[in-house]
Homo-oligomer: A and B are copies of this chain.
């Protein structure tokens, strides 16, 4: 690729927290651009690291869940996802914990597939996506009182259909699923 002359980072002249609650931390930065322009009202939303996992059973089924999402006001197919807790030693540990809690599955061979941003202009975190092959049912679900989640085992043709028809609405889930399927296709569809 060509040599790049990149737009340079902004200088933060002032920064203050508007709001700090467990599920919403909003910061207002006064920033100066390299061209000298000052924007005194740039909002950044701070979040912990997020994780999700493309989990497949020993039989090759994909583990999906359905859960009502109040922001969008919809219930759609999703992969298991969550937030890294302070007690999680790594994003993978967080994803393993979420898979256990939300679906009751464990074990398998894990690898990191991607790290993506939901919104790089306003959010400071990344979402790490893992692939877990050969997981097994080890427990019932362990849900929070505020969680109502159903678990669904899907075939690859069903997953592909959902992706093609935009029925996996969350880009942080759709992107790694497409990447995973593209990788499989490149390997010869094993």
Contact = CB atoms under 8 A, between A and B. Distances in A.
Contacts of A120: 69, 71-72, 74, 76, 169-170
Contact of A69 (B33, B76, B121, B164): B121
A138 interface: no
Interface stretch (A86-94, A96-104, A145-153): A145-153
A2 B152 contact: yes
A58 interface: no
**Is the contact region of chain A dominated by helix, strand, or loop, or is it mixed?**
mixed
Residue among A71, A116, A146 facing the most chain B CB atoms (10 A cut-off): A71
Contacts of A2: 152
Nearest to A43: B24
Contact of A170 (B19, B116, B152): B116
Chain A residues touching B, range: 35 or more
Interface of A: 1-2, 4-10, 18-19, 21, 23-24, 26, 29, 31, 33-35, 37, 39, 41-45, 66-76, 114-124, 126-127, 145-146, 148-150, 152, 154, 158, 163-164, 166, 169-172, 174-175, 178-179, 181-182, 185
